[in-house]
Structures are given as C-alpha cells and as structure tokens.
Amino acid sequence: MIDTLRLSAEEAIALVERKEVTAAELHAAYLSVIAERDAELHAFLRTLDEPNGTGIPIALKDVISTSGVETTAGSKILAGYVPVFDATVAARCKAAGLSLLGKTNTDEFAMGSSTENSAFGPSRNPWDPSRVPGGSGGGSAAAVSGGLTPWALGSDTGGSIKQPSALCGNVGLRPTYGTVPRYGVVAFASSLDQIGPVAKRVRDCALLYSIIAGRDPRDATTVELPAPVQLPQADRLDGLRIGLPNQLADLTAIEPGVRSAFEATIDLARELGAEVGECDLPLSFEYGIACYYLVAPAEASSNLARYDGVRYGPRVNGDTYREMVERTRDAGFGDEPKRRIMLGTYALSAGYYDAFYGQAQKVRTLLIREHLEALSTFDVIATPTSPTVAFPIGDKAADPLAMYACDLLTIPSCLAGLPGLNVPCGLSEGLPVGLQLIGPQFGENTLFRTGYALEQALGFDTVPERYRA
Ligand code: GLN
C-alpha cells in the first residue's frame, strides 16, 4: 500500500524508476484517495480516470488550459469550455511524463484568498474541514496536503500559491516574474500572474520548478533561467543573511501564535549559521494592498473583456448583440469578478486614470526600489506568509476588505516581481503556520537552499493530524 500522505514526489519518481510501481498503479492509488476524501475536501473540480503519462501524477489548478479537458477558472462563464491546446506549463508536465490526475478548484478567475469565490463551491482545509484552505489556489493546496496528489501547480497573482500553501502546511513557490510561461493560462492580471509548484517538500518544489521554468517563444515576457535549478541538499545556513522587515513588529494583524512560530523559526535559522538583521519596507506594508487593488483589477477588467458569449463558454441570448453580451456576463460572472471589473474600469477611465492607475504604477516602482534596497544587504527577506492561520469558512466571505487584508504580507513582493517560497514552520491552534522567504530576481536557488535547511531542522509533519494513523 502506498501512503500518499507521506510519499514525496521525489520518492514516487524513484518508485516508478525502480519499477516497484507503475504509473498506472500510482494514478489509481491517488484516484482512490480522491474517491475517499474529496467529497469532503472538494479540492478537485474534475479528475481523469485514465493515466496519460509514464511518470507520476500531477494536479493542475483550473486556470491552466489542458487540451481536451474542461478548464473553467472556477467560473460559470467558462463552464463547458474545453481547450484545444495545452498551456505551456501543462505541455511541459506532459513532456516530463507526468500524468494529469485532474483540475483543482480555485476562486473564480483566481480572485480570492479562500476558494469561497469559486462558482462551484469552496474547498476545505484538510487540517480542519470547517476552515478554508486559503486561496485562490486552495484546491491545489488541499489536494497536496490531503495526500490526493504528490504535487500540483498553482497560480500566484498576489499570493495564491504562497498563502494556501501556508494555510495547508505545504511548500509553495511563486517564481520570479518571467521565469515560467503564462501561455495558455487564464489571465487575471498579466503583469503579476505567475505559475508555480505546490508540494510537500522543498526538493519536490525545486524539481517541479525545473520542469516548468524557462523561456517560451509563445510568451514574450519569459526569459531563460540564468542558472540551472539546484536541488538543495545542505542542512546549514552559514553566511546566509536574512532580513526581517522592521514593520513586522507593529503589524497587529499578525496573530500571536503565527508570530511566535515565525520567531522560533528565525532563531533556528540563527542556530544553523544564518546572520539575521533588520531591513526596512515601510511603503510595502502601508501601500502594498491599495496599490495591488488598483493594478490587479485594472488588468483584470481588460483581460476579462474577452468573455462575451461568443468566444468561450455558455451564452445567454438577447435581442441585440449588446444585450446578449450583457446577459451572458451578468449570468456568467460571480460577484468578485464583477466587483473587480467595476473597480478596474473605473481606475482606468478617462479623467481618473492618472489619479488611480497611474499613481498605483508609481507606487509600484517605489515598492520595487524598496525591495531592491533591502535585498542589496540581505540574501532573503523573511516574514510570516499569512498573518493568520486558516479561518473558518464564511468568516470573511461577506467582507471583501477583510479578505483582501489576508494578502498583506504576500502582495508587496509580487508587485516587485520577486520570487517567494512558503515553508511550513510550525503550528498555532493546531493549524499550520507558514514562513515566507523572499529572494531577489532569479533567487530561487537561494530560497530552495534556505527552505530546505529549515525544513530539515524543523521536521514539520506535513500530514494533517486527523489523518495520522
Ligand atoms: N487574494 C488575492 C486576490 O484576491 C491574490 C489572488 C491571487 O494571487 N490569484 O487577488
């Protein structure tokens, strides 16, 4: 029997290579766990019965186009849409032999921090099913932590890989902007969207990143990695300089239990040889969320204009073309995309453009500079990933601003285009706490090295307590 809760992707690959298990057997093993647990967790929107690769399985967030497999981005407006091509990341997984297990749940168009905005119902946190798994990639995170897949891909615009990984006790990487192709990914905010891996172990994360990263002629914003991905193996952190933002001390949004797990982890980093100092990101914490909620909705309002009842998904007929488009969009979009389309078109409208969108872009430049300055002294910046542990389903659903505040710590570095790694670093109230490590552009190897050493020293058990034998 395969213990899918404990098996790392690396170990699964070794089992297949040594022919101790076939790809088909692995696919079937994960499907049977899905059959057992997913009625409760609702991590998957759909699964594939037959293995379609010679390697280990993978799950993809439903914003990633998959040839012949329905792709909805968690929205009714894409219900029934079956792409005729693979996103580059899906094609690269296929080329690596990975077998597509299914598509995971997401907030509609990846807009949200809990998956409660999915048009198909929320996912649940494997550590406590009365709580959210985070979002928008809560489906991928719940699937990994519940043992429903060895690893998964998510997408991160303002934290949707890092934050769900934190809430579910996974390792998740938001890569440097431009290292992973967005071709074939349902666009939310194109200057922020990045695809990245979610896994149980840092090395799995690095391995999956090496499969999906690298220039794609179909995405002009991509570049070749300046250096190959290194699988981390050192368990010391000698010489590594870690910067802690001064501003963390005054952030009352950070729960005490989250703060103490974070501080204990920083102490551990010191014991492993790291030098820890203070850095300054005053504008990031003050203006990050406000800046993001102008830039991201502005880009979203433009990207979502393509859903017109003609090109994709269902149509609601009307007497005129205009009426048809209006009715289709009214019926197809949920409240959150509608809210963002309105915010975005307002921020971009003549007369307000300079005051809102233009101003937000200037602030974004300042945030980039502030991060560059901090990273000129430090190799990585460390913060908690989420100010809170997983919250109860329904807690913030009626209060968009409370939901937006979940991303306080993840958003600034996303605006700066920088990579970020979540590493589970302890428990508070019996729920996982995540450490966020931010690196310079193309600093993934440093993040992996740091995350790996801490992972070894922490010995965090990624298996939710309720599933432990
Ligand atoms: N929670 C943020 C939002 O709602 C980030 C989402 C994301 O990264 N896709 O926009």
Q: What is the pLDDT of residue 1?
A: 79
The CA distance from 171 to 165, in Å, is: 6
> Strand, helix or coil at 467?
helix
Establish whether residue 156 lines the binding site of ligand 1, counting it when its CB lies within 6 angstroms of any ligand atom.
yes
Supply φ then ψ for residue 418, to 5 degrees: -95, 155
Q: Positive or negative, the Cα torsion across 35, 31, 464, 248?
A: negative
Which atom of ligand 1 is found nearest the CA of 135? Answer: 1
Confidence of residue 30 (pLDDT cuts 50, 70, 90): very high
Q: Is 407 in the pocket of ligand 1 (CB under 6 A)?
A: yes
CA distance 306 to 207: 35
Model pLDDT, residue 233: 98
3-state secondary structure of 276: strand
Q: What is the pLDDT of residue 8?
A: 98
Q: What is the pLDDT of residues 212-262, one digit of tens each?
A: 999 999 999 999 999 999 999 999 999 999 999 999 999 999 999 999 999
Ligand 1 pocket check for 116: Cβ under 6 Å: no
Give the integer Cα–Cα distance in Å for 34 and 39. 8
For tokens 């050493």, the residue is 453
Question: Is residue 158 lining ligand 1, measured as CB closer than 6 Å?
Answer: yes
| Dist CA 133 CA 320 (whole Å) | 42
pLDDT value of residue 48 = 98
C-beta separation of 243 from 279 below 8 A: yes
The rounded Å distance from CA 293 to ligand 1 centre is 10
Q: How confident is the model at residue 469 (pLDDT cuts 50, 70, 90)?
A: confident
CA-nearest of 64, 452, 9, 16 to 198 is 9
> Does 110 contact ligand 1 (Cβ within 6 A)?
yes
Q: Report angle CA 207, 384, 258 to the nearest 5 degrees.
A: 120
Q: Is the pLDDT of residue 28 over 90?
A: yes
Task: Identify the band that residue 308 occupies on the pLDDT scale cut at 50, 70 and 90.
Answer: very high
What residues are labeled active site?
61, 136, 160
Q: Is the predicted pLDDT of residue 109 greater than 90, yes or no? A: yes
pLDDT tens per residue across span 271-287:
999 999 999 999 999 99
Residue 265, beta-bridge partner list = none
CA of 29 to the centre of ligand 1 (A): 32
Most informative mutation of 157, 163, 385 for ligand 1 (most atoms within 8 A of CB) = 157
Q: What is the mean pLDDT of residues 361-383?
A: 98
For the Cβ of 112 lying below 6 angstroms from any atom of ligand 1, the answer is yes
Tell me the best of 75, 113, 195, 341 to mutate to test the pocket of ligand 1, counting ligand atoms within 8 Å of each CB and taking the most.
Answer: 113
Give the residue-averaged pLDDT of 314-319: 96
Instruction: Work out whether the CA dihedral 226, 274, 422, 383 comes out positive or negative.
Output: negative
